[in-house]
Amino acid sequence: MFGSILVDSSKAEESISKTGEKADSLGSKLGSGIKTAGKWAAGIGAAAGAAGGALLGVANKAAETTDHIDKMSQKIGMSKEGFQEWDFILSQNGASIDSMQSGMKTLTNQVDELSKGGKVATDAFSQLGLSYEDMAGLSQEEIFEKTVIALQGVEDTTKRAAIANDLLGKSGSELAPLLNAGADSVEAMKKQAKDLGLVLSDDAVNAGVKFTDTMDQLKRSFGAVFTQVGAAVMPMFVDFANWIINNMPVIQNVFKTVFDVINQVVSVAFDWFNEYLLPAFKEIFSWVSDNWPTLQKIFETVFGVIFDLVSTVWTLFKDGLLPILSALWDFISPTFPLIQGVVEVTFGAIVKSVEFVVDVFERVTGAIKTAIEWLGSWNDTEAKSKDTSFKSGKDYDGSHAGGLAYVPYDGYIAELHQGERVLTKSQNANYNSNAGDTYITGNTFVVREEADTKKIARELYKLQREKERGTGFAPA
């Protein structure tokens, strides 16, 4: 079909028309099949992977909120529930509870000054109708609430602002919208916060804090593992880096030779691309341009199917998987300490495996050093005297073209020749136990004349020599 469109120009429009009809038919059938099977099989499989990540994200966000409640409530000096109530109250009046930390500190200091008879504190609280006896035994949260309600009762806005500044410092100006409200507004907004479900119980906050601490310990455990691995690997890399620095002239010479070859290869490849591939790409682009309306219909059909599939996956996740995963999380969360123990054991095994890999890597780098040293020395020799065989750096203990009856010690280095073979230790021992006479068994030999006798003798001698050469006993 494509060949007709590209080559036979007289049939181009007819072929394009047929291609469009087939594409429409294909897209329709494909869409029907995927909509039926994809909504159930593929949809469930795709949603399962995304569900875990989404659920963990929700848990992390909730833990972040509860941890903020726990830490800030302690800094400000409020209960966990009180902090959440005042967070809602202040946010509804254009203020932030996080900025009230300094204001609470100023208020605490003023109450202390009140107990000592300080003039500023005594005058400010007395204008609110409060005395030290009214504050004695109250928590910081209760003192703050009593002070705010008393300030709401001052009708003169200028006087109220001055008292708020004396008792709360700069934070007093941020409370102006709240202080302008009626005295009953605080209790009303506290009730509204609870009715809206914005106030978490202490148990819920503590659970979130525990989750945050557990995740922090888990992250630190992972970090410790990678730190241990890095500490084990660093000396090896330092040694290798020092070796590279010391051998840089040799390495540069080797790489210069390599890159010269690469440059030649790239030049040939570029010429070949310009001569052969580029014209082909131009032809393909021309064909795509001519047939774009047909291709566009195919793409629209396929992407329509993909959109339906994604919509189905989302529906399955929202209505089916999310409730199940939520219940599963409630069931799994108490087992975090056990999971942490398993992770610690697992990463202990991983550390041991890494130590083994480090040992192997050290051996590999040693081999690389030897190879580069050999390449450097080989590259420095004259062309006629270059030896392309790789030497390990040790002298040969001997060349035994005529055979070797026994290897005297481990690590013995000998030069082998084409056609020879080497026996194992057990095979050699077995041969030595039967290395005396050679016995020949078989059918009766028929000798018709003296030439037959000589021929048989030559063949037997040849076989004997081959056997002796294979075991290392044949003379030179």
**pLDDT-above-70 percentage for the chain:** 72
User: Does residue 35 surpass a pLDDT of 60?
Assistant: no
User: Per-residue pLDDT averaged across 350-360, rounded?
Assistant: 74
Residue 127's pLDDT is 92
- pTM of the predicted model, to two decimals? 0.39
User: Per-residue pLDDT averaged across 188-201, rounded?
Assistant: 89
Tens of pLDDT, residues 431-472: 666 554 444 554 455 656 667 777 787 778 777 766 665 554
Tens of pLDDT, residues 311-334: 888 888 878 777 887 777 777 777
Choice between 41 and 395, residue whose per-residue pLDDT is larger: 395
**15: pLDDT confidence band, cut at 50, 70 and 90?**
very low
Residue 22's pLDDT is 45
3-state secondary structure the chain: CHHHHHHCHHHHHHHHHHHHHHHHHHHHHHHHHHHHHHHHHHHHHHHHHHHHHHHHHHHHHHHHHHHHHHHHHHHHCCCHHHHHHHHHHHHCCCCCHHHHHHHHHHHHHHHHHHHCCCHHHHHHHHHCCCCHHHHCCCCHHHHHHHHHHHHHCCCCHHHHHHHHHHHHCCHHHHCHHHHCCCCCHHHHHHHHHHHCCCCCCHHHHHHHHHHHHHHHHHHHHHHHHHHHHHHHHHHHHHHHHHHHHHCHHHHHHHHHHHHHHHHHHHHHHHHHHHHHHHHHHHHHHHHHHHCHHHHHHHHHHHHHHHHHHHHHHHHHHHHHHHHHHHHHHHHHHHHHHHHHHHHHHHHHHHHHHHHHHHHHHHHHHHHHHHHHHHHHHHHHCCHHHCCCCCCCCCCCCEECCCCCCCCCCCCCCEECCCCCCCCCHHHHHHHHHCCCCCCCCCCCCCCCCHHHHHHHHHHHHHHHHHHHHHHCCCCC
Residue 309's pLDDT is 87
Residue 265's pLDDT is 92
Choice between 377 and 187, residue whose per-residue pLDDT is larger: 187
Would you kindly state where each structural domain of the chain is located, as residue ranges? 68-205, 207-375, 398-435+445-471
Tens of pLDDT, residues 54-70: 666 777 787 788 888 88
